[in-house]
Amino acid sequence: MRTRLTLLAATAAAAVAGIGLAGPALASPAAPSDTTVTVSYPVTGSTFIKAIRSTIALGPGTLVTTADLTTSTLSGTLTLPPATGSFKELGFIPVTATTQMIQDGPATGTVDFSTNAVTTTARDTIQLTSLKVAGISIPVGRSCETSPATITVSSQAGFNVLNGGTLAGTYRIPPFAHCGLATLLINLTLPGPGNTISLTLGKGTLGG
């Protein structure tokens, strides 16, 4: 099952401290004594796309995550609105792009309740839904997207499982496909490593 989330030309993605957490609890039939708790967080953030040297605002959105208190594991889903960003190709041609991320299954991770340290990993397909170059709309079709990108984020100093804080990490944008005549232009512009993402979680609410 693919859960939709959005991000700009990049990504996007969190758990009780990580990208895209929430969803089914991780308790297994073999461990009926496991105890799970679901927490919902308000989320804002940003992502820096290295190839275009541009920072894109993310959110506001919602992160719902389920933590297994016995195994110290996490699972969840992050929901963000579509993200639109602008930059200049070749230093002078204005470009505006809107992207949407499709989370491929729940994000998963671990949490250390004694230190509030969290690390989560999500796999997200980045879909480009709108592209304008010099004010002219460029058709990209309905299937202009990457293969799933792996996005891992970790809690930063001051993070608290209940009160929130910052989750951050880096990720690689894979090449795009099925974008029509714009495929070559897009792949010369957006894909590549070294992109960063930072998500700020507000105070959590128990019960999701």
Half-sphere exposure of 55 (CA within 13 A, CB side): 5
Q: Cα 39 vs. chain centroid, distance in angstroms? A: 18
Q: Tell me the pLDDT band of 26, cut-offs 50, 70 and 90.
A: very low
> Rounded to the nearest 5°, which phi and psi values hold at 51?
-60, -30
Model confidence over 118-173: pLDDT tens digits?
A: 999 999 999 999 999 999 999 999 999 999 999 999 999 999 998 999 999 999 99
pLDDT value at position 100? 87
Report the C-alpha gap between 59 and 44 in whole angstroms: 5
- Contact, 203 vs 175, CB < 8 A? no
Beta 117-133 vs 165-173: how paired, if at all?
A: unpaired
Q: Minimal CA–CA distance to 197: which of 140, 153, 139, 147?
A: 153
Find the range with the poorest average confidence among 28-42, 113-127, 185-199: 28-42
* Amino acid 138: pLDDT: 92
Could you tell me the pLDDT band of residue 33, with boundaries at 50, 70 and 90? low
pLDDT surpasses 80 at 117 = yes
Q: What is the pLDDT of residue 43?
A: 95
The parent domain of residue 107 ranges over 2-206
**Structure-token match 């949407």, residue found:** 100
Q: How many domains does the chain have?
A: 1
Cβ–Cβ under 8 Å, residues 17 and 154: yes
List 199's β-bridge partners, or say none.
45, 167
Q: Which residues of 160-192 are buried (b: 16+ CB within 10 A; e: fewer)?
A: ebeebbbbbbebebbebeebeebbebbbebbbe
Q: Which is higher by pLDDT, 27 or 79?
A: 79
- pTM exceeds cut of 0.75: yes
